[in-house]
């Protein structure tokens, strides 16, 4: 019997789906992570925006177009938020939520709505034999921040962290070329007093490239960066969440830093890692955002010179504080998004020029139209023609700009 595990949303969802796939394989199922013909489909849903929740629902029609007799299981944040929205979907047999995903392989024959109780303990997943080149390692779940626009703390629960011994053990078992350390709020990692900085020290025991997931401003300290500097094979890339460059908007968002503090943390990162890639998320059109506020965001973008930006138009989520705030018009949001996208392209062009002619470490992911594609340590997307993968991280030289990254060639 074949099962497809289809994932929407964040890297944590991908980590959890990988573990579900491994558990199903161990039970003798044929498993894929692509939307192709199967007997059973597990949809790992997302609810971070209204659009993500809509896409989670729309997956039903995509599945039934492939196999009208398939059974569909829904799990994750969108089904936790509102299980009823999936009950009416054609072929839906089982609805579960955020908690108890690690037991989903054992529940595959069940039906109905089966919501596990909220827990304050970290739920361990079995080590996952990922179907991707890079391995995502989940180390933390939940969030205590309660940003005014975000529904995730209400769905994922409070902060809880994984035993560092278990983390190191999983990486050693999987022996990946790159391990991406992830969590819903990675910066809040705290296992009985052991912080993310302490975990970094532990990771010196593993023999692979280490990349960190999204970070918050408060975690960037001299001690933290020193520990990263001493970590062998650290990928010098920091995804540092910004959301807005306006202090007034940040306060309304319930973010716990100022634009000045953010810029100072970027300067600190570049003191230790001058050539690091620094990426971020920015929300456009938050309810209280004025034109002046938005200009402050653009000025900070120009000041920081990000290597890439992930912009999002504000999406009101019922149950959050921001949901009750007066929303801006769609035209204003779209116009501001376009201006931010223009600055994003300027940032990406400047980051490429900074890397032109540099020798970087390249990890192969896939081949598309004769080009091998993958990422350098600093998260510059690289394209290499006529490349033969030998399963190792390769030294390459950056040549010319191409698509969303650069063409490079192997030098060894």
* Candidate CATH numbers 3.50.50.60, 2.40.160.20, 3.30.750.210, 3.30.1360.70; the one for domain 133-235: 3.30.750.210
pLDDT band, residue 90 (cuts 50/70/90): confident
Q: How far apart are CA 396 and CA 393, in angstroms?
A: 10
53-71: buried (b, 16+ CB within 10 Å) or exposed (e) per residue? bebbbebbeebbeebeebb
* CA nearest neighbour of 13 among 128, 177, 148: 128
Which candidate, 275, 338, 273, 262, places its Cα nearest to that of 301?
Answer: 262
Q: Does residue 322 contact residue 286 with C-beta atoms inside 8 Å?
A: yes
pLDDT one-digit tens code per residue, 362-401: 999 999 989 999 999 999 999 999 898 878 899 999 999 9
Count of alpha carbons within 13 Å of 123, Cβ hemisphere only?
Answer: 21
- Which pLDDT score, from 0 to 100, does residue 130 have? 64
User: Which one of 2.40.50, 1.10.260, 3.40.50, 3.20.20 gives the CATH number of domain 359-410?
Assistant: 2.40.50
What is the pLDDT, as a whole number, of residue 391?
Answer: 80
Chain mean position to CA 393: 22
Residue that the structure tokens 């489909």 belong to: 41
pLDDT confidence of residue 180: 96
In angstroms, the CA 304 to CA 87 distance is: 46
Give the range among 123-127, 179-183, 252-256, 278-282 with minimum mean pLDDT: 123-127
Topology of the domain covering 2-113: Rossmann fold (3.40.50)
pLDDT recorded at residue 132: 66
Instruction: List the beta bridge partners of residue 371.
Output: 368, 385
Q: What's residue 35's pLDDT? A: 94
Question: Each residue of 6-22: pLDDT tens digit?
Answer: 999 999 999 999 999 99
Report the alpha-carbon distance of residue 79 to residue 252 in Å, rounded.
28
Task: Note the pLDDT of residue 131.
Answer: 54
Of 124, 119, 127, 111, the C-alpha closest to 173 is: 127
CATH value of 237-355 in 3.40.50.1820, 3.40.630.30, 3.40.50.800, 3.30.750.200: 3.30.750.200
Task: Provide φ and ψ at 170, rounded to 5°.
Answer: -65, -45
pLDDT range class, residue 189, cuts 50, 70, 90: very high
Q: pLDDT band for position 293 (50/70/90)? A: very high
Can you give the pLDDT at residue 305?
97
pLDDT over threshold 80, residue 78: yes
pLDDT number for residue 118: 84
Summarised one tens digit per residue, pLDDT across range 153-167 is 999 999 999 999 999
In three-state secondary structure terms, 168 is: helix
Round the average pLDDT of the chain to a whole number and report it.
95
Residue 126 dihedral angles phi and psi, to the nearest 5°: -65, 150
What is the separation of C-alpha 208 from the centre of its chain, rounded to a whole number of angstroms? 20
3-state secondary structure of 323: helix
Structure confidence by residue, pLDDT tens digits, 23-62? 999 999 999 999 999 999 999 999 999 899 999 999 999 9
For residue 6, what pLDDT is reported? 96
* 304-313 average pLDDT score: 97
pLDDT at position 88, please?
87
């Amino acid at each position: 019997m074949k099962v497809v595990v289809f994932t929407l949303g964040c890297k944590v969802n991908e980590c959890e789906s990988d573990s579900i796939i491994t558990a199903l394989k161990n039970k003798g199922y044929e498993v894929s992570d692509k939307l192709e013909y199967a007997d059973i489909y597990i949809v790992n849903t997302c609810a971070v925006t209204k659009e993500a929740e809509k896409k989670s629902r729309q997956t039903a029609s995509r599945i039934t177009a492939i196999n009208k007799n398939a059974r569909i299981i829904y799990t994750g944040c969108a089904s936790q938020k509102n299980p009823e929205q999936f009950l009416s979907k054609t072929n839906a047999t089982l609805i579960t939520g955020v908690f108890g995903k690690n037991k989903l392989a054992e529940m595959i024959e069940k039906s109905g709505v089966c919501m596990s109780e909220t827990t304050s303990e970290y739920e361990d997943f079995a080590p996952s034999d990922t179907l991707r080149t890079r391995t995502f390692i989940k180390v933390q779940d939940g969030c205590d921040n309660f940003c005014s626009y975000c529904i995730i703390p209400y769905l994922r629960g409070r902060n809880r962290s994984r035993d560092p011994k278990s983390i190191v053990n999983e990486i050693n078992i999987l022996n990946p070329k790159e391990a991406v350390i992830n969590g819903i709020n990675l910066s809040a990692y705290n296992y009985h007093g052991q912080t993310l900085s302490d975990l970094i020290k532990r990771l010196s025991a593993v023999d692979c490239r280490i990349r960190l997931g999204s970070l918050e401003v408060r975690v960037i300290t001299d001690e933290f960066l020193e520990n990263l500097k001493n970590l062998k094979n650290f990928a010098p890339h920091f995804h540092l969440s910004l959301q807005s460059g306006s202090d007034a908007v940040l306060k309304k968002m319930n973010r716990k830093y100022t634009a000045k503090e953010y810029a100072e943390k970027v300067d600190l990162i570049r003191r230790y890692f001058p050539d690091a890639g620094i990426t971020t998320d920015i929300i456009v059109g938050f309810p209280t955002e004025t034109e002046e506020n938005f200009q402050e965001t653009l000025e900070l973008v120009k000041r920081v010179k990000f290597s890439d930006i992930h912009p999002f138009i504000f999406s009101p989520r019922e149950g959050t504080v921001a949901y009750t705030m007066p929303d801006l018009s769609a035209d204003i949001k779209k116009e501001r998004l376009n201006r931010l996208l223009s600055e994003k392209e300027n940032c990406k062009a400047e980051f490429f020029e900074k890397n032109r002619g540099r020798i970087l470490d390249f990890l192969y992911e896939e081949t598309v139209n004769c080009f091998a594609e993958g990422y350098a340590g600093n998260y510059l997307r690289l394209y290499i023609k006529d490349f033969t993968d030998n399963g190792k991280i390769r030294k390459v030289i950056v040549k010319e700009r191409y698509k969303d990254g650069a063409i490079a060639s192997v030098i060894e």
